[in-house]
Amino acid sequence: MFILIYALGILPLVEAKKKVEEKIALKKRVLLKYEEYLSNRKTVEEELDRILKQHEGTQTRLLSGETPQLGAANLQEIVKRLSEKNGIAIRSFRILEPKEINSYRKVSIQIEFNPTNSMLSLGQLIYDIETHEKELMISEMDLLILNIRMPNQIQGSLVISGLMKGIKTKEKGRFTPLERTGPVRNKPH
C-alpha cells in the first residue's frame, strides 16, 4: 500500500516539483539576460544615435534624385559648374548605365572636353571633382596630347561617377536596414 501511495502520490509530486524548479531556473536566467540588456540600454542608445548621425552624414554625400536619370542630371550639373569654374570647355556629356552596388546606385557620366592650354586648370578640375562634398570619383580618364613635339594642348574624356540611394528591396519578409522600424516579422507565404 505504501508503495502504491508513493508511486501514485509522492513520485508525481516530486517530478512536478523538479519541472517547476527547472522552469523557475530558466525564467531566472531569462530575467538576468533582460536585466543585462536594460543595464546596457544607455550604451545601446548612444551607439544607435552615433550610427544614425553617421548615416545622416553619409546621406548628405549622396547625389539627390529618385531615379538614375535625375541623379545623372544632378551629377552633370555639378560637373558643368566645376568645369566652368576651372575654365574647361566641355564638348559633350553622355549618361552611362547605372550600376547597383550593395544598397547604393552608382551613376556615371562621360564627358569630353575641348583642347585646353592649362594643365593647372585640368588638374584643379580633377581635384575639385575628387574632393567635392558629394561622393564623386573619376573612374576612367583618357587624355590626348595633340602635338607631342609641343605638348601645350591636351584634350580627352573623363568618366565621373557618383553614388545615390539604391533600390529598396523586400525579399521573403526581410527588410533592408533603412526600412526596418520595428521587430522583423516574417509574413506567411
Asked if 78 and 62 touch (Cβ cutoff 8 Å), the reply is no
For 81-137, write each residue's pLDDT tens digit: 999 999 999 999 999 999 998 888 999 999 999 988 888 999 999 999 999 999 899
**Local confidence band at 6 (pLDDT 50, 70, 90 cut-offs):** low
C-alpha cell, 14? 516530486
pLDDT digit string, tens, across residues 43-86: 888 899 999 999 888 888 899 888 999 999 999 999 999 999 99
> Average pLDDT over the chain, rounded to whole?
84
Q: What is the pLDDT of residue 94?
A: 94
User: What is the per-residue pLDDT for 91?
Assistant: 94
Q: Does domain 68-165 have CATH number 1.10.10.10?
A: no
pTM: 0.64
Residue with the larger pLDDT of the pair 146 and 141 = 141
pLDDT value, residue 168: 61
Q: What is the pLDDT of residue 179?
A: 45
Partners of 110 in the β-ladder: 94, 159
- DSSP secondary structure letter of residue 175: -
In the predicted model, is pLDDT for residue 183 greater than 70? no
CA neighbor of 50 nearest in space, from 61, 38, 42, 60: 42
Distance CA 51, CA 56 (A): 9
Show the beta-strand stretches assigned E in 21-150: 90-95, 99-101, 104-116, 136-145
pLDDT at residue number 176: 47
- 3 vs 18, residue with greater confidence: 18
What pLDDT does residue 152 have? Answer: 80
